[in-house]
């Protein structure tokens, strides 16, 4: 695609994802190697022997794909691991906040007993680096999963439900597939380019996952040797940078030469940002150490083994190879067992907690190993008959190892716990209703505090919010009014600090209104301000802004008019006419903190801040009493061809909470199939 995607190549080349995948490709066990080679051979056979043009993307770009390699499949898990790991991003973000806030103020956002003694000489470098990261690699992840034992279900067998949350794109990430051979059967969600079922069942066990948020990354502040710019300071004296050269071919122009410097702690990422090079403090660099970039990562093999596991013991054995990203892996089987484990390589640190960049010259700032596998969080057949997670805190504060200091807000988990309580006759319909639940526990906690400040006022807007039931319903005006008010309140709070693009954080705003009203006191005025006028002004601005879009009659507003699930085609979105076919959009329920995740955009960049851009692109509910009753749905369609009627045919069923079944004997499937594609192994083609 040329220059517009150059930043992606620079970023991935700097971190060395493909180099590590190539190393691993040469070290795979024979059974996995056989499968990966066969898959690559199949892709390449199609490239070499297809009739007619390839997909429209290749035609438009006038591009013939290079032969597929095993490393092309392996690199996916590394890039996904990096995308699902967020600590490095939060370290940069804390540095950015430090330019305008005290550590005590930052602690109000993310409570911590130790914010760390190390700061960048000029933290404005962090803001430049944040902007330099391609959107593809900005962390966007969340998920819901739960498993109920037979004593909590009507069937007497487990139910396992899962809906992983990722950024929306078209074509969608997920592809539903069922493979049945004389020796093997598996059904579930795959991703193009990877011959592995990521989430599925094999007739005996079923599994799902949520992102743990484990801290598997660290930024290090490296100092250049003042006597030699080709060396950096290390605990035992100056060391030379390891430098490698990457040549990036750019369509329509000259190739770009990228010189990647690496320290003992990892590649230097501050080199990929021109603004960062201009504003960083002289003599300092930022290096990134990440589990996802290790060449000995065996996560792909772990998934391969999970696909073939027949019981909890074999499942656990497979998870020992699951290195990155840390996931909460949920398990259920047809015998009635349920469980969950959060496998990963998580570093043991010496002398700091990983929340802030560490001093690369300090000998104590290093990884001294990994959390032992037997010490990782695990549950098996709990007496309560239920395990659930919505990216919330996984372990108690007494847990002996550091997994994370940045757990997700507890609102979705709180709602899930309330729904699961009491009833001992749960059905698939119950789990389906939970996946579509759009009650906002965040609004339930925050909104009364906001209204309390303005209780003497009587306006149509306030009356509506007072009577609201906290349902983020696409056909109601209240979710829009609430969301806009919260957004403008956050903007007004952060305006004195130049942080207008900070996403609304309900837990922080609750703290402000309950315990820390000093945030509402403008830091540059002599008069002491309270939160009341700020809330009143924020509400007025919210109503004025929404009126510009939707008219002055609040009763006519609908959340879904602005909260639309938007799936943009990475290529065709850039082309005015074709994007009408490539992009998909539909009004949706839900919000940032509902089980039916309707994560919105944010920032003051002129875009619709309420556009639904992140959520459950795949939902599944497994019935371990009869796996053929299991329910599946993806958000877009099974085809990646924008001109196919199956490109977006699942969009409305997905929005409305409907599902499909993926089962049946081959002969019965053929009778109801819309078509068939016969794949013939090359060794057998001549015998037909």
The whole-angstrom separation of Cα 460 and Cα 552 is 11
- Flag the least confident range among 112-121, 440-449, 517-526, 677-686: 112-121
Q: How confident is the model at residue 136 (pLDDT cuts 50, 70, 90)?
A: very low
Give the model's confidence band at 424: pLDDT under 50 very low, under 70 low, under 90 confident, else very high: confident
Domain boundaries defined on the chain: 3-75, 142-214+295-435, 441-562
Q: Where is pLDDT greater, at 122 or 238?
A: 238
Lowest-confidence range among 88-97, 141-150, 246-255, 409-418? 88-97
Predicted confidence band of residue 121 (pLDDT cuts 50, 70, 90): very low
Model pLDDT for residues 499-511, shown as the tens digit of each residue: 887 889 999 999 9
With beta carbons less than 8 A apart as the criterion, state whether 321 and 196 touch.
no
Average pLDDT over residues 452-460: 86
Q: What percent of the chain is predicted at pLDDT more than 70?
A: 92
Q: Which residues pair with 268 in a beta bridge?
A: 287
pLDDT value at 604 more than 60:
no
Report whether pLDDT(119) > 50.
Answer: no
DSSP state of 471: B
Work out the average pLDDT over 375-399. Answer: 95
At 680 the pLDDT is 73
Q: How far apart are CA 146 and CA 415, in angstroms?
A: 12
What does the pLDDT average to over 336-346? Answer: 98
Average pLDDT, the chain: 90
Q: Going by DSSP bridges, is the β-strand pair 142-148/159-167 parallel, antiparallel, or unpaired?
A: antiparallel
3-state secondary structure 27-93: CCCHHHHHHHHHHHHHHHHHHHHCCCCCCHHHHHHCCCCCCCCHHHHHHHHHHHHHHHCCHHHHHHH
Residue 140, pLDDT above cutoff 80: no
Neighbouring residues of 339: CB distance < 8 A, sequence distance ≥ 6: 147, 312, 315, 330, 331, 332, 378, 379, 380, 381, 387
Q: Please give the angle made by the CA atoms of 335, 336 and 340, to the nearest 5 degrees.
A: 120
For residue 631, list its beta bridge partners. 621
Mean pLDDT over 212-232 rounds to: 95
Query: Which pLDDT score is estimated for 380?
Result: 98
Contact of 654 with 194, CB cutoff 8 Å: no
Domain 441-562, second-level architecture: Orthogonal Bundle (1.10)
Distance CA 520, CA 556 (A): 32
Region 602-624: mean pLDDT is: 84
Comparison of pLDDT for 505 and 676, the residue scoring more = 505
641: its two tokens: 């061809």
pTM of the predicted model as reported, rounded to 2 decimal places: 0.93
The mean per-residue pLDDT over the stretch 170-199 comes to: 95
Q: pLDDT band for position 137 (50/70/90)? A: very low
Residue 436 has pLDDT above 80, yes or no: yes
217-225/358-359 β-pairing:
parallel
CB 321 within 8 A of CB 327: no
Q: Yes or no: say if 28 and 196 are a contact pair by the CB < 8 Å rule.
A: no
- Alpha-carbon distance values, 586 to 8, 436, 499, 547, 549 (Å): 29, 15, 31, 22, 18
What is the model's pLDDT at position 218? 95
Least confident of 218-232, 304-318, 604-618, 642-656: 604-618
pLDDT tens figures, 12-30 = 999 999 999 999 999 999 9
The tokens describing 417, both together, are 């716990």
Give the three-state DSSP class for 120.
Answer: coil
Q: For residues 165 and 649, is the Cβ–Cβ distance under 8 A?
A: no
pLDDT digits (tens, 9 = 90+) for 525-540: 888 889 999 999 999 9
CA-to-CA distance for 104 and 101, rounded, in angstroms?
8
Residue pair 170/582 in contact by the 8 Å Cβ criterion: yes
Beta bridge partners of 166: 615
Phi/psi at 497 (5° precision):
-105, 5
CATH of 142-214+295-435, one of 3.30.70.1400, 3.40.30.10, 3.20.20.210, 3.60.20.10: 3.60.20.10
pLDDT confidence of 247, banded at 50, 70, 90? very high
């Amino acid at each position: 695609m040329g220059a517009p995607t150059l930043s992606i190549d620079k970023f991935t080349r700097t971190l060395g994802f493909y180099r590590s995948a190539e190393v691993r490709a040469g070290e795979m066990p024979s059974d996995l190697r056989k499968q990966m080679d066969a898959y690559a051979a199949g892709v390449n056979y199609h490239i070499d022997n297809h009739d007619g043009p390839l997909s429209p993307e290749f035609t438009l770009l006038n591009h013939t794909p290079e032969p597929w390699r095993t490393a092309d499949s392996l690199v996916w898990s590394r890039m996904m691991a990096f995308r699902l790991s967020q600590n490095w991003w939060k370290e940069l973000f804390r540095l950015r906040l430090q330019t305008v806030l005290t550590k005590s103020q930052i602690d109000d956002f993310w409570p911590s007993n130790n914010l760390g003694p190390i700061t960048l000489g000029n933290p404005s470098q962090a803001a430049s680096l944040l902007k330099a990261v391609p959107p593809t690699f900005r962390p966007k992840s969340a998920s819901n999963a739960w498993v109920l034992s037979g004593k909590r279900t009507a069937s007497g067998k487990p139910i396992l439900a899962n809906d992983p949350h990722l950024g929306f794109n078209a074509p969608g990430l997920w592809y539903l597939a069922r493979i049945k051979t004389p020796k093997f059967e598996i059904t579930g969600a795959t991703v193009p380019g990877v011959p592995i079922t990521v989430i599925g069942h094999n007739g005996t066990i079923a599994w799902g996952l949520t992102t743990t948020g484990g801290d598997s990354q660290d930024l290090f502040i490296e100092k250049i040797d003042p006597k030699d710019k080709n060396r950096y300071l290390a605990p035992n004296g100056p060391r030379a940078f390891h430098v490698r050269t990457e040549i990036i071919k750019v369509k329509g122009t000259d190739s770009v030469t990228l010189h990647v410097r690496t320290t003992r702690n990892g590649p230097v990422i501050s080199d990929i940002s021109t603004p960062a090079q201009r504003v960083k403090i002289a003599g300092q660099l930022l290096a990134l150490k990440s589990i996802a970039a290790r060449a000995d990562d065996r996560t792909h093999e772990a998934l391969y083994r999970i696909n073939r596991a027949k019981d909890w013991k074999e499942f656990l054995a497979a998870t020992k190879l699951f290195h990155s990203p840390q996931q909460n892996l949920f398990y259920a089987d047809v015998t009635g067992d349920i469980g969950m484990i959060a496998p990963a390589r998580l570093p043991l640190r010496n002398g700091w907690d990983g929340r802030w960049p560490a001093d690369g010259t300090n000998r104590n700032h290093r990884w001294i190993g990994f959390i032992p596998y037997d010490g990782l969080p695990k549950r098996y057949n709990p007496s309560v008959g239920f395990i659930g997670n919505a990216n919330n805190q996984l372990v108690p504060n007494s847990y002996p190892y550091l997994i994370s200091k940045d757990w997700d807000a507890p609102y979705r988990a709180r709602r899930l716990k309330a729904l699961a309580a009491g009833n001992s006759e749960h059905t698939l319909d119950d789990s389906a209703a939970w996946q579509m639940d759009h009650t906002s526990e965040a609004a339930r906690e925050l909104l009364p505090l906001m209204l309390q400040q303005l209780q003497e006022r009587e306006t149509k807007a306030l009356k509506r919010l007072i009577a609201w039931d906290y349902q983020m319903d696409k056909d109601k005006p209240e979710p829009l009014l609430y969301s806009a008010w919260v957004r403008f309140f956050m903007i007004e709070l952060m305006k004195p600090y130049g942080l207008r693009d900070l996403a609304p954080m309900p837990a922080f705003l609750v703290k402000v209104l309950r315990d820390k009203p000093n945030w509402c006191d403008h830091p540059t005025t002599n008069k002491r301000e309270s939160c009341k006028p700020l809330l009143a002004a924020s509400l007025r601005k919210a109503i004025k802004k929404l009126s510009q879009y939707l008219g002055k009659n609040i009763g006519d507003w609908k959340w879904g008019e602005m909260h639309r699930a938007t799936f943009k085609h990475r290529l065709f979105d850039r082309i005015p006419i074709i994007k009408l076919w490539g992009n998909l959009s539909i009004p949706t329920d839900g919000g940032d903190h509902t089980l039916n995740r309707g994560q919105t955009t944010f920032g003051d960049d002129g875009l619709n801040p309420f556009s639904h851009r992140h959520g459950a692109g795949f939902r599944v509910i497994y019935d371990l009493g009869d796996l053929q009753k299991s329910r599946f749905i993806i958000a877009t369609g099974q085809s990646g061809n924008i001109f196919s009627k199956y490109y977006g045919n699942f969009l409305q069923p997905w929005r409305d909470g409907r599902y499909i079944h993926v089962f049946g004997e081959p002969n019965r499937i053929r009778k109801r199939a819309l078509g068939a594609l016969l794949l013939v192994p090359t060794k057998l083609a001549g015998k037909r």
